[in-house]
Amino acid sequence: MADQWQREYDFAEKVARKAGEEIRKAGESEIRVMTKSCTVDLVTKTDERVEKIIIGSLKQEFGEGTHCFIGEESVAKGEACILTDKPTWIIDPVDGTTNFVHGFPFVAVSIAFAVNKELEFGIVYSCLEDKMYKARKGQGAFCNDELIQVSDVKEIKKSIIISEHGVDRSPEKVNKIFSTMQKILCIPVHGLRGSGTAATNMCLVASGAVEAFFEIGIHCWDIAAGAVIVQEAGGLLLDVDGGPFDLMSRRMLSANNDVIAHRIIKEIEVFPVERDDAPTHRIY
Ligand SMILES: O=P([O-])([O-])O[C@@H]1[C@H](O)[C@H](O)[C@@H](O)[C@H](O)[C@H]1O
Ligand SMILES: [Mg+2]
222 annotated ligand binder: yes
- Determine, yes or no, domain membership for 284: no
- Supply the pLDDT for residue 283: 54
Buried b (16+ CB within 10 A) or exposed e, 142-159: bbeeeebebbebeebeeb
> What does the pLDDT look like over 224-272, one tens digit per residue?
999 999 999 999 999 999 999 999 999 999 999 999 999 999 999 999 9
Residue 186 domain boundaries: 156-265
* Spatial separation of the C-alpha atoms in residues 109 and 101, rounded to whole Å: 15
Shared domain for 118 and 210, answered yes or no, is no
Q: What is the pLDDT of residues 121-149, one digit of tens each?
A: 999 999 999 999 999 999 999 999 999 99
State whether 134 and 243 are in the same domain.
no
For residue 18, with 0-12 CB atoms within 10 Å meaning exposed, 13-18 middle and 19 or more buried, which class applies?
Answer: middle
User: Measured in whole angstroms, how far is the alpha carbon of residue 45 from the centre of its chain?
Assistant: 20
Same domain for 76 and 207: no
Which pLDDT score, from 0 to 100, does residue 30 have?
87
**Cα–ligand 2 centroid distance for 119 (angstroms):** 18
* Same domain for 135 and 190: no
Report yes or no: 8 and 116 within 8 Å, Cβ to Cβ: no
Low-confidence ranges of the chain (pLDDT < 50): none
* CATH code for the domain in which residue 51 is found: 3.30.540.10
Q: What is the pTM of this model?
A: 0.97
Q: Provide the domain count of the chain.
A: 2
Single residue among 148, 173, 204 that ends a domain in this structure: 148
Q: From atom 12 of ligand 1, which residue's Cα is the shortest distance away?
A: 166
Could you tell me the CATH number of the domain that includes residue 207? 3.40.190.80
Q: Do 125 and 242 share a domain, yes or no?
A: no
Find the residues whose C-beta lies inside 6 A of ligand 1. Answer: 72, 92, 95-97, 164, 166, 196-198, 215, 217-218, 222
At 215 the pLDDT is 98
Q: Is 277 annotated as a binding residue?
A: no
130 is in an annotated binding site: no
- In a shared domain, residues 165 and 143: no
